[in-house]
Amino acid sequence: MTIPDGVTINGEMGERYEEVLTPAALEVIATLHRQLDDRRLELLEARERRIEDLAGGGTLDFLPETKHIREDDSWRVAPPAPGLEDRRVEITGPTDRKMTINALNSGAKAWLADHEDANTPQWSAVVGGQLNLLDAIDRKVDFTGDNGKTYTLKPDDELATIIVRPRGWHLPEKHILVDGRETSGSLVDFALYIATAGLRQIEKGQGPYFYLPKMESHLEARLWNDAFVIAQDLLGIPRGTVRATVLIETYPAAFEMEEILYELREHSSGLNAGRWDYMFSVIKCFRTRGKDFLLPDRNAVTMTVPFMRAYTELLVRTCHKRGAHAIGGMAAFIPSKDEAVNEAAYAKVRDDKTREANDGFDGSWVAHPGMVEVCKEVFTSVLGERPNQIERTRDDVDVTAAQLLDVASTPGECTENGLRNNVSVGIQYLQAWLGGLGAVAIFNLMEDAATAEISRSQVWQWLHNDVTLADTGHTVTRELIDRIVDEEIAKLPGDPAEYEDAKQTFLEVAVADDYADFLTLPAYERMA
């Protein structure tokens, strides 16, 4: 296997890995790393400076220096690329072989093939996931499971369009070094896809399409755009072939939606309302600012509370003004074998998608194949034969910074039940994550990296703001959390000792004075 100068692969070479870690793909990684990684690290430092400013009493607002972009009515994003015109229902999920086939066959219009919230950066998942994508595009992915069930792809014209979500800018890739330095997980996931399966997508009449997560500014979008231009030029692909939908899922990004679309306009395929990371980011940004930014129990923060409503309304308005798709977020309810729970889950997903479709979204996400039809049906009842409703410009919407920041009027209470739920979900999720699973069903809900971030951040916020719990009257202290951690672990299946790693990681990210930027960072250090 030929490895370009300066590139080191630390990870074990599994079967067929050379089909993904090709010389061309490694060359793209090396070039992107050398040209862009210093800027990536500077942008991560800028995030830290913003957090310090917010902790010191600063606030978020629309940027004065980019007002001209917001006020210039002349620009639009590129028209929808092949396979991305109609996105009324998109399924999300990790890229293991079974999920790949199930997602592509699900009847959804698109599949977010996840190397982010629903996946872990285990080396075998980083490369193995890309191999599954390659095999799916080449129609060589069929297999028979251990259960004897045969997994076979449907005909091409019935499959969902693949949209790959690489890791966020903060995550390193320790198994691939360039000039002795760890690389960026984002650039590795992007490069491995565009230089292998993504090229095959072009031959098939579509393109390398991406979902871009967890960005905090338009300058981070500019970095992605530069990565697209460099990679397309290197691989001899016309500029504009790559398309990217950006998740607006951080508080700062909500104030730069228009600028983010502008930076990526040649490559843009819209914005998505990434509600779970958004809530996480709200807590993270203002975690030390007391009751004005204190969220009640996680399950009480619905999409209809004022600050969440302001965010989704602004997203639709911004996208449609610029000719871009507005894609809704994830209702975390999944089918259940318990009939009553199942009925409630379907009703909640239906309500959620109905609100989004009526608000002007062009499509939305589901976490499970069982939820595809309900989402499709709801959007079809609004869209009819139209592929989207981009023409609905929502000129009636005018969202202010104060509305986006109005966390204080969120109804609900902080309760011990909520605290216990956060502790249990956080530990169960980390247990799964450390074992290589990025998405799991816990208490009848889909849990992934974003929802787990909310859980651990709430624990941190309640502890560091001396919250008094409404149901018990207790103040949240380290002693109370330690007791609840042990009690909740005792309720889980198996020996409590099996949860020790997850417990320690949870305590590190949920109670330590130094708030970890992302739970996946210390967790990744524990991963081989």
Active-site residue numbers? 165, 448
CA distance 365 to 376: 10
CA distance 270 to 247: 9
- Burial class for 108, CB neighbours closer than 10 Å (0-12, 13-18, 19+): buried
CA distance 252 to 242: 25
- Kindly report the number of other CB atoms within 10 A of residue 277's CB atom: 27
- Burial class for 343, CB neighbours closer than 10 Å (0-12, 13-18, 19+): exposed
CB of 357 or CB of 450, closer to Mg ion: 450
Q: Least separation, in Å, of the C-beta of 458 and Mg ion? A: 16
CA distance 244 to 231: 14
From the list ligand LL5AMS7Z, ligand ACO, Mg ion, none, partner contacted by residue 445 (C-beta under 5 to 8 A by kind):
none
CA distance 43 to 65: 18
Q: Does 267 bind ligand LL5AMS7Z (CB under 6 A)?
A: no
Q: Does 251 bind ligand LL5AMS7Z (CB under 6 A)?
A: no
CB of 295 or CB of 450, closer to ligand LL5AMS7Z: 450
For 12, 116, 223, the CA distances from 331, given in Å and listed in that order, are 37, 17, 30
- Residues lying near ligand ACO in the complex (CB under 6 A): 91-93, 98-99, 102-103, 114, 117-118, 149, 276, 330, 334-335, 367-369, 439-441, 446, 448, 450
CA distance 411 to 175: 45
Name the segment binding ligand LL5AMS7Z (CB under 6 A); options: 29-37, 68-76, 178-186, 272-280: 272-280
Q: Which residues pair with 248 in a beta bridge?
A: 273
Helical (H) or strand (E) element with 522: helix 520-526
Alpha-carbon dihedral angle through residues 57, 59, 275, 448, given to the nearest 10 degrees: -40
CB of 232 or CB of 520, closer to Mg ion: 520
Please choose, from the candidates 273, 417, 418, the residue with its C-alpha nearest in 3D space to the C-alpha of residue 356. 273
Q: Which residue among 172, 198, 274, 329 contacts Mg ion (CB under 5 A)?
A: 274
CB of 117 or CB of 297, closer to ligand ACO: 117
CA distance 300 to 521: 28
| Cβ atoms of 384 and 88 closer than 8 Å | no
The per-residue DSSP string of 67-107 comes to HHHHH-TT--PPPPPTT-S--SEEEEEE-SHHHHHHHHTSS
CB of 267 or CB of 275, closer to ligand LL5AMS7Z: 275
CB of 91 or CB of 390, closer to ligand ACO: 91
From the list ligand LL5AMS7Z, Mg ion, ligand ACO, none, partner contacted by residue 363 (C-beta under 5 to 8 A by kind):
none
Q: Does 297 bind Mg ion (CB under 5 A)?
A: no
Return the residue matching tokens 């067929």.
Answer: 16
Q: Which residue among 329, 360, 369, 438 contacts ligand LL5AMS7Z (CB under 6 A)?
A: 329
Residues numbered 100-119 forming contacts with ligand LL5AMS7Z, rule: CB under 6 A: 117
From the list Mg ion, ligand ACO, ligand LL5AMS7Z, none, partner contacted by residue 99 (C-beta under 5 to 8 A by kind):
ligand ACO
| Cβ atoms of 433 and 125 closer than 8 Å | no
Termini Cα distance of the chain: 23
From the list ligand LL5AMS7Z, ligand ACO, Mg ion, none, partner contacted by residue 6 (C-beta under 5 to 8 A by kind):
none
Q: Does 247 bind ligand LL5AMS7Z (CB under 6 A)?
A: yes
The size of the interface with Mg ion (CB under 5 A), counted in residues, is 5
Q: Least separation, in Å, of the C-beta of 211 and ligand LL5AMS7Z? A: 8
Q: Does 249 bind ligand LL5AMS7Z (CB under 6 A)?
A: yes
CB of 114 or CB of 362, closer to ligand ACO: 114
- Burial class for 339, CB neighbours closer than 10 Å (0-12, 13-18, 19+): exposed
Q: Does 86 bind Mg ion (CB under 5 A)?
A: no
Q: Does 277 bind Mg ion (CB under 5 A)?
A: yes
Helical (H) or strand (E) element with 329: strand 326-330
Q: Which residue is nearest to Mg ion (CB)?
A: 277
Q: Least separation, in Å, of the C-beta of 334 and ligand ACO? A: 5
Q: Which x/- pattern, by CB under 6 A, does the window 439-458 give for ligand LL5AMS7Z? A: -----------x--------
Return the residue matching tokens 């050379």.
Answer: 18
Six token digits for residue 88:
């009324």
Residues numbered 245-264 forming contacts with Mg ion, rule: CB under 5 A: 249
Q: Least separation, in Å, of the C-beta of 304 and Mg ion? A: 20
CB of 272 or CB of 424, closer to Mg ion: 272
CB of 248 or CB of 507, closer to ligand LL5AMS7Z: 248
Chain-centre distance of CA 327, in angstroms? Answer: 13
Q: Which x/- pattern, by CB under 6 A, does the window 277-316 give for ligand LL5AMS7Z? A: x---------------------------------------
Name the segment binding ligand LL5AMS7Z (CB under 6 A); options: 152-160, 269-277, 466-474, 500-508: 269-277
- Burial class for 396, CB neighbours closer than 10 Å (0-12, 13-18, 19+): exposed
For 318, 331, 375, the CA distances from 351, given in Å and listed in that order, are 23, 10, 10
Return the residue matching tokens 């449907």.
Answer: 154
Q: Which residue among 90, 96, 114, 117 contacts Mg ion (CB under 5 A)?
A: 117
Residues numbered 410-469 forming contacts with Mg ion, rule: CB under 5 A: 450
Six token digits for residue 149:
């069930």
Q: Which residue among 97, 115, 275, 298 contacts ligand LL5AMS7Z (CB under 6 A)?
A: 275
Q: Which residues pair with 364 in a beta bridge?
A: 89
Binding site for ligand LL5AMS7Z (CB under 6 A): 117, 247, 249, 274-277, 329-330, 450
Binding site for Mg ion (CB under 5 A): 117, 249, 274, 277, 450
